[in-house]
Amino acid sequence: MSSKLRIEKLQELIKQEVGKMLLMDIKDSRIGFVTVTAVEMTGDLREAKIFVSIMGNDEQIQSTWEGLQSALGFIRREIGKRIKIRFTPEISFALDKSLDYSEHIQKLLLKVKAEEAANLEIDSERNGAEVKDSR
């Protein structure tokens, strides 16, 4: 059984290496803007799930996803070459929607802030009119 610290180190190393591969080594034109957000490995280090965030419209996301799936063998082989471990883990990709969710929350917060500013402006105009009326 591998220690938790070793698993965490390997997860981070795989995350960095896959990020480098996507940036420098994979020449598939279908792969667009992809960010490796996390890697989860099983306790026996035999499987690794790589979480990726893909930016773009639905068509670009689908195209990028197909490109990533076709590059799985290359990525696994490169991980085996670059990281010295006894067994190269089976890898799979999973779509990470957390960045999309955080972007949605950010838009909602900006909308609320704009509405509050508009309400403050309306209130101050009303208060200014009331002061003039009382004189």
Distance from the Cα of residue 11 to its chain's centroid = 16
- Determine if residue 102 is left, alpha or beta; phi over 0 gives left, psi from -120 to 50 gives alpha, anything else beta: alpha
Predicted pLDDT at 47 = 93
Predicted pLDDT at 132 = 55
Predicted pLDDT at 1 = 47
> CA-to-CA distance for 113 and 92, rounded, in angstroms?
40
CB 81 within 8 A of CB 39: no
- The residue among 23 and 123 whose pLDDT is bigger is 23
Q: What is the pLDDT of residues 1-28, one digit of tens each?
A: 458 888 999 999 999 999 999 989 888 8
